[in-house]
Amino acid sequence: MEMFCYQCEQTWAGRGCDKLGVCGKDPATAALQDLLVYAIKGISQYAQRARAIGARERDVDVFVIEGLFTTGTNVNFDPMRIEAMLRKAVAVRGKAQDMYECACRDAGITPEEPIGPARWQPAATAMGLLNQGINAGIFERRKAFGDDLAGLQEMLTYGLKGMAAYADHALALGKEDDTVYAFVHEALNYLAQSDPTSDELFALNMKCGETNLKVMEMLDAAHTGTYGHPVPTPVRINALKGKAILVSGHDLKELDELLRQTKGLGINVYTHGEMLPAHGYPGLKKHEHLVGNYGTAWQNQTLEFDAFPGGHPDDDQLHPAAAGELYVTNFQYRAGRLAGRDPHPKPGFSAADPGGTC
């Protein structure tokens, strides 16, 4: 099965992953993620039109952010969960359509009937969804629009995905901005158009950068307002003896929940990759069992997680909306297993085996 993804800087040979993602994403997952983006465009076609006449629905806005985040690099590689998101997207699109048509009736306006993603219906089977995903991917858009326009579309799409990740983390800490939702719908609605122009796509890419600065400011306020301003902090890179959990990603709230739920259980928590800056936040470094950083960068986590002698509920598994293989609410149970109350517990680090690459 064919795939093509170049949304991260680690993409194969600097050109694109066409057989298997460097991150571990397989072609089936890539196709379903492309289809989820297509389905989300259909939601925004109605949400954008509704906003133009003063109607909005927060649940619709939040789902679009969560859906985009789900398709980001290294977030969710579970085809069954993506299929569930796809089928939920149809229900959310129906809600957005009802909102728009109701607002039109109230305003005495004849509603438009957008085409493309707004009319998409999911296949009944998983294989059918895969085939739909192939048709929704970059190959078909390159055929339809050429490399330049398809490239500008991809740039905007990837910008929206990154923005959605930041917005989702900020939302988890109680920060959101309606102008961000408005731009996301505006951009996705345009990406659904059948006659894009380079000028309009270029302008939307520039606006995406501007809006992302606002989202980053919002996330920074959420982090520092909750955990304090980070300070320079020495971080241990050698293992300590004992049970261990390894956490990757960016979600400080989920790390905080893990630290709270494992307090006093004799489990050491290590960060990996992008989670390293967590050690600088006063509200997180106060936890004595946040003991150090293990391994290197995210693109090496497949090998390093396998070598880690403990649990590794990374950021993406922790996240209940985007991936959620291991929910935060399950951590007390998970911690119990790692603490040794399971017939096959993870061994943890021993004094004789400090962990190799740690």
Among 112, 89, 107, smallest CA distance to 43 is for 89
| Tokens read off for 247 | 């956490």
157 bridge partner residues: none
Fold of 12-225: Substrate Binding Domain Of Dnak; Chain:A; Domain 2 (1.20.1270)
DSSP 8-class letter at 5: B
| Torsion region of 111: left, alpha or beta (phi above 0 gives left; psi -120 to 50 gives alpha) | beta
CA distances to 185, 191, 243 from 44, rounded to whole Å, are 5, 10, 46
Is the distance from CB of 73 to CB of 29 less than 8 angstroms?
no
Cα–Cα distance measured from residue 75 to residue 281, given in angstroms and rounded to the nearest whole number: 24
Residue type, 64: V
Euclidean distance between CA atoms 14 and 6, whole angstroms: 8
Assign domain 243-338 to its CATH architecture: 3-Layer(aba) Sandwich (3.40)
Q: In this predicted structure, what is the pLDDT of residue 13?
A: 81
3-state secondary structure 226-259: HHCCCCCCCCCCCCCCEEEEEECCCCHHHHHHHH
How far, in Å, CA of 57 to CA of 50, rounded? 9
pLDDT of residue 313: 64
Element spanning 290, H or E? strand 290-293
Domain ranges of the chain: 12-225, 243-338
Q: List the alpha helices (DSSP H) in the chain.
A: 27-52, 58-70, 79-107, 126-135, 138-172, 178-191, 198-227, 252-261, 282-285, 301-307, 315-318, 331-338
pTM: 0.86
- Angstrom distance (rounded) from CA 89 to CA 136: 15
Tokens, residue 351: 């004094």
Of 114, 134, 188, 130, nearest in space to 158 by CA: 188
Q: At what angle do helices 79-107 and 27-52 cross, to 10 degrees?
A: 10
Q: Tell me 326's DSSP state.
A: S
Q: Give residue 73's pLDDT.
A: 74
**3-class SS at 310?**
coil
Rounded CA separation 123/131 (Å)? 9
Print pLDDT tens along the chain (358 aa): 778 888 887 778 888 888 888 777 889 999 999 999 999 999 999 999 999 999 999 999 999 999 999 998 777 788 899 999 999 999 999 999 999 999 999 999 999 999 999 999 999 999 999 999 999 988 889 999 999 999 999 999 999 999 999 999 999 999 999 999 999 999 999 999 999 999 999 999 999 999 999 999 999 999 999 999 999 999 998 888 899 999 988 899 989 999 999 999 999 999 998 899 999 999 999 999 999 999 888 778 778 888 888 887 643 433 333 333 332 333 332 333 333 333 335 778 876 444 433 3
